[in-house]
Structure 1
Amino acid sequence: MPEIVGESLAKRLIAWGVDTVFGLPGDGINGLMEGFRRHADQLNFVLVHHEEAAAFMAVGYAKATGKLGVCAATSGPGAIHLLNGLYDAKLDHVPVLAITGMQETSLLGSRYQQEVHLDRLYEDVAEYNLMITNPQQMPGVVDLAIRNALIKRTVSHLTFPNDIQIAAVDEDPYAHPAPGTKPVSLPNLDRPQLAPGEPELRAAAEVLNAAAKPVILVGAGALHARDEVIAVAEKLGAPVVKTLPGKAVVPDDHPVTTGGLGLLGTKPSEEAMEECDTLLMVGTSFPYGKYLPDPGTARVVQIDADPTLIGLRLPVEAPITADAKKGLQGLLPLLRGGDSGFLDKYHKEMESWRADMKALQDESRDPIAPQYVVGVLDELAADDAIMTCDSGTIATWSARHWTIRDRRQYFLSGNLATMAPGLPYAIGMQHAFPGRQVIAYVGDGGFAMLMADFLTAVRHDLPVKVIINNNNSYGQILWEQIVLGYPEYAVRHRQPEADFSTWARGCGAYGVKVTKPGEVRGAISDALAHPGPALVDIDVNPNEPPMPGKVKYEQAKHFTEAFLKGQPHKAATLATVVRDKINELRS
């Protein structure tokens, strides 16, 4: 049997260490699927129910492992469906290769069925983006696509016309030279270890050693540098503030951290940022500038492997282009010990904040408080559990009530902030780490978008645990409308409320519906103990506001104005806010 281009692709993926492709077949990639079939003993194809889920699974796999994620879809609509997940990969700097199909080369431009010029469509999302037009391009362009994705931590895309997919790999219709290939064993290709320059380190140390009130802001680029971040923080006497994608950089119960920053962050983090005179940014280009020091009020040092991200938000006095771990290791010996008074102050503030958050985990409240749900989950989950989260109010509850300790991890769509990745992320991560506890904490809105792929977890015997925060609404959008000063509109679903546990049981998995607070602990405990996939659908208070860590005057003003304009659920909402405040005062 002659080797076809589809088989050459499969063999080259395997040579690069790829063991899994997430996708959904179609006649636009039948030649590629034949190549995958011929090497099914080494290349596992995970069949999904929606291409968007396939892309999110590839992103989740890459986020959790640091390795290349790969997804595949047919021509036209299948490839279009991949885009949301691929933009998630691009914006969060995750290496993913997307493989798509295309109509036969002789039909291109003839308005054939499903003819979408994917190389044009993918121009914005893919750093390396190519339509294969000659078998002789194999396997060189696969090498180039993968190298670009891994080195630049981004998306690459290859699209294969049908006739090229099934052509003999040694076919040479044009007698042109093929591109040269490179060996796949290049060192540190999955995380280039950029070392800092000595002049950069000395300049940064001079700024940091002069600081009286230093703060460190860490992001996802520092996830592999926990020990170094803590060592620098202790040396400088600097509180560590974390972006949400960087939540796992430092354990939440460590005395150096004040938790997150921004709308979902903590009051101590926000106040430390307002008071600091020097800011060290490590592995982040935090996009929400209003939570950073006003330009000129603090001296800034920034460490990032990507020089294009340095100075993106604030003027940077001392830039260091380097891997976070390498940069901090080089910086540490040059730092003089700082006064711990500033750090001690915010450590005490953080203890008070944690007590306030604990008080909101009130088992007695009915309807069920979402904070209580995450509090129970936090208590019962394993110390090496991986949590995936959707966008929405659930991000607030998990940011504040899911505690990073030991080897726990936390993943969500950071910069794209899209709905729906929680479940497919969990599936991709459970596939990568079959022995670890993987929990998808999602809202009813996000789960409903890609719920069909819960069946994928069942069929592949992936024991993911899904906890649904069911408020029968698009909760974050609801509160955003109110904060803008508008009464809510078109954000709550009509009755009846969904019971997603019936879907779980219909799939042959564990599924339970929870409507009373006394049922929460037992249901979560049983789900975590269940040997296979499990789902707990919990009806929570739909009027629980995800209040900012520090409420600004304008936010309070707009909130009040919305109520005066006739907020339809103001009585229930005000009762919830008052109850929350009473619990905080009791703590």
Structure 2
Amino acid sequence: MAEIVGESLAKRLVEWGVDTVFGLPGDGINGLMEGFRRHAEEIKFVLVHHEEAAAFMATGYAKATGRLGVCAATSGPGAIHLLNGLYDAKLDHVPVLAITGMQETSVLGTRYQQEVHLDRLYEDVADYNLMVTNPRQLPGVVDLAVRNALVKKTVSHLTFPNDIQVAAMGEDPYRHPSPGRPLDGRPNLDRPHLPPGEEELRAAAELLNAARRPVILVGVGALHARDEVIAVAEKLGAPVVKTLLGKAVVPDEHPVTTGGLGLLGTKPSEEAMEECDTLLMVGTSFPYAKYLPQPGQARVVQIDSDPSLIGLRLPVEAPIAADAKRGLRGLLPLLRGGDGSFLARYRKEMDAWRAEMKSLRDERRDPIAPQYLMGVVDDLAADDAILTCDSGTIATWSARHWTIRGDRRYYLSGNLATMAPGLPYAIGIQHAFPGRQVIAFVGDGGFAMLMAEFLTAVRHELPVKVIVNNNNAYGQILWEQIILGYPEYAVRHRRPEADFASWARGCGAYGAKVTRPGDVAGAVRDALAHGGPALVDVDVNPNEPPMPGKVKYEQAKYFTEAFLRGQPHKAATVATVVRDKISELRA
């Protein structure tokens, strides 16, 4: 049987170490599917229900493993559906290869059915982006696409017209000069981590040694440098503030950290940032500049492996273009150490914050407090559990009540902040780590968008656990309307309220519906102990506000004005806020 282009693609992906492709077939990629079929022993095709989920699964897989995530979709609408998940990969800097189909080359430009010029559509999302038009281009262009995705930590895209997919690899219809052939065997990718420059290190150390109130801000680029971050923080006497994607850099209960920064962050982190005179940024280009020091307030050192991200938010006096681990290791012996008083003060502030957060996890509150639900999951989950999360109010509850300890991990859509990746992330990650506990903490809005993928988990026997924080509303949008000074509008669903547990049971999995606080712990415990996929749908208080760590005057002003104009649920919301404050006073 002659080797076709689709088979050559599959073989080359296997040689690059790819063992999984997430996708949905269609007549636009039948030739590629034939290639995957011929190598089914080496590369698994995970069939999904929606192409958007395939891209999210590939992104979650890449985030959790550091390896290439691969997704595939047919021509036209199938490829269009991939885009949301691919932008998530691009904005969060993870390597994903998208493979799509095109109409036969003979009909391109004739307004043929589903004719969408995907190489043009993908121009913004994909760093390497090519329509393959000659069998002789393989496997070289596959190598280029994979290299670009892995080295630059971004998205690559290859689209194949139908006739090219099934063309024999020996064909050369245009008799063009042959491109350079790659070496036989498995490709190599040399990604050396260049050592930081000595002059850069000395300049940074001089600046940090002069600090009286230093703060370290760490992001996803420092996830592999936990020990180094802690050592530098202890040497400098500097609080460690974490971005949302960098939550797992330092354990949440470690005495050097003040937790997250931003709308979902902590009051101690925000105040430490307001007070610092020196900022060390490691593996992050934190996009929310209003939470960073004011211009002229602090001197800045930034360590990043991508020089183009240095100085993106603040003027940087001492840049270090290096991997986070190597940069911090080089810096550590040059630091003299601070007196520790600044860190000691914020340790006390953080102790008070933790007590305040714990007080909100009150099982006596009815309706069920979302903080309590997340707290139960946190208490019962394994120390190496992986939590995935959707965007919305649930990100607030998970950021503040999911405790990083042991080898726990935490993944969500960071910079894109899109809805619906929680479940697909969990499926992709569970596929990569079949022996670990993977939990998706999702809202009813995000889950409903791609809920068919729960059936994907059942069919592939992936024991993901799904906890639905069900407030029957688009909660984050509701509170954003109020904070901006508008009465809520079109954000709450009408009755009947969803019962996603029935859907789970209909799929042949464990499903539990919880409406009373006393039933939460038992249902979550049973779900985590279940041997296969499980879902717990919990009705939580829809009027629980995701308050910022530190409420600004303008936020309070708009909140009050909106209420004075007549929020339809203001009585219930005020009652919830009062209960929250009473719980804090009891702590």
TM interval, shorter chain, is over 0.9
Matched, 1:432 2:428: no
Q: How does 1:118-129 map to 2 (within 5 A)?
A: 118-129=118-129
Q: Which residue of 2 aligns with 1:362?
A: 362
Q: Which residue of 1 aligns with 2:161?
A: 161
Q: Which residue of 1 aligns with 2:214?
A: 214
Q: How does 1:576-587 map to 2 (within 5 A)?
A: 576-587=576-587
Q: Which residue of 2 aligns with 1:530?
A: 530
Matching residue's letter, 1:50 = H
Matching residue's letter, 2:121 = L
Contact between 2:15 and 2:187, CA under 8 Å: does it hold in 1? no
Deviation string 1:525-575 (CA, Å, 9 cap, x unpaired) is 000000000000000000000000000000000000000000100000000
Contact between 1:141 and 1:179, CA under 8 Å: does it hold in 2? no
Alpha-carbon offset, residue 72 of structure 1: 0.1
Partner Cα separation in structure 2 for residue 318 and residue 97 of structure 1? 35
Q: 1:492 to 1:69 in 2, by over 3 A?
A: same
Alpha-carbon offset, residue 499 of structure 1: 0.2
Partner Cα separation in structure 2 for residue 506 and residue 204 of structure 1? 59
Q: Which residue of 1 aligns with 2:188?
A: 186
Consecutive aligned runs of 4 or more in structure 1 exceeding 4 Å deviation = 181-185
Q: Which residue of 2 aligns with 1:86?
A: 86
Q: Which residue of 2 aligns with 1:473?
A: 473
Partner Cα separation in structure 1 for residue 367 and residue 417 of structure 2? 28
Matched, 1:301 2:301: yes
Partner Cα separation in structure 2 for residue 199 and residue 187 of structure 1? 29
Q: Which residue of 1 aligns with 2:347?
A: 347
Matched, 1:95 2:91: no
Matching residue's letter, 2:7 = E
Q: Which residue of 1 aligns with 2:571?
A: 571
1:451 aligned counterpart, secondary structure: coil
Q: How does 1:64-79 map to 2 (within 5 A)?
A: 64-79=64-79
Contact between 1:131 and 1:160, CA under 8 Å: does it hold in 2? yes
Q: How does 1:227-306 map to 2 (within 5 A)?
A: 227-306=227-306
Deviation string 1:290-348 (CA, Å, 9 cap, x unpaired) is 10000111000001111111111100000111111111111111111111100010011
Which stretches in structure 2 are left out of the alignment for 5+ residues?
Answer: none
Contact between 2:241 and 2:258, CA under 8 Å: does it hold in 1? yes
Alpha-carbon offset, residue 185 of structure 1: 4.5
Partner Cα separation in structure 2 for residue 111 and residue 426 of structure 1? 39
Q: Which residue of 1 aligns with 2:20?
A: 20
Q: How does 1:313-328 map to 2 (within 5 A)?
A: 313-328=313-328
Partner Cα separation in structure 2 for residue 353 and residue 414 of structure 1? 24
Contact between 2:55 and 2:82, CA under 8 Å: does it hold in 1? yes
Aligned identity (percent) is 84
2:452 aligned counterpart, secondary structure: helix
Partner Cα separation in structure 2 for residue 208 and residue 196 of structure 1? 16
Paired residues, number: 585
1:486 aligned counterpart, secondary structure: coil
Contact between 1:143 and 1:181, CA under 8 Å: does it hold in 2? no
Q: How does 1:437-586 map to 2 (within 5 A)?
A: 437-586=437-586
Matching residue's letter, 1:427 = I
Partner Cα separation in structure 2 for residue 259 and residue 512 of structure 1? 33
The TM-score, its normalising length taken from structure 1, stands at: 0.99
Partner Cα separation in structure 2 for residue 50 and residue 198 of structure 1? 50
Alpha-carbon offset, residue 164 of structure 1: 0.2
Matching residue's letter, 2:340 = S
Contact between 1:97 and 1:146, CA under 8 Å: does it hold in 2? yes
Which stretches in structure 1 are left out of the alignment for 5+ residues?
Answer: none
Contact between 2:139 and 2:182, CA under 8 Å: does it hold in 1? no
Q: 1:188 to 1:226 in 2, by over 3 A?
A: farther
Partner Cα separation in structure 1 for residue 188 and residue 218 of structure 2? 29
Alpha-carbon offset, residue 178 of structure 1: 3.2
Partner Cα separation in structure 2 for residue 181 and residue 560 of structure 1? 68
Alpha-carbon offset, residue 84 of structure 1: 0.1
The TM-score, its normalising length taken from structure 2, stands at: 0.99
Contact between 2:147 and 2:189, CA under 8 Å: does it hold in 1? no
Q: 1:325 to 1:187 in 2, by over 3 A?
A: farther
1:21 aligned counterpart, secondary structure: strand
Alpha-carbon offset, residue 199 of structure 1: 1.0
Partner Cα separation in structure 1 for residue 413 and residue 354 of structure 2? 25
Deviation string 1:80-99 (CA, Å, 9 cap, x unpaired) is 00000000000000000000
> Cα RMSD between the aligned structures?
0.8
Partner Cα separation in structure 2 for residue 151 and residue 182 of structure 1? 18
Q: 1:188 to 1:347 in 2, by over 3 A?
A: farther
Deviation string 1:387-422 (CA, Å, 9 cap, x unpaired) is 000000000000000000010000000000000000
Alpha-carbon offset, residue 492 of structure 1: 0.2
Matching residue's letter, 1:507 = C
Alpha-carbon offset, residue 170 of structure 1: 1.3
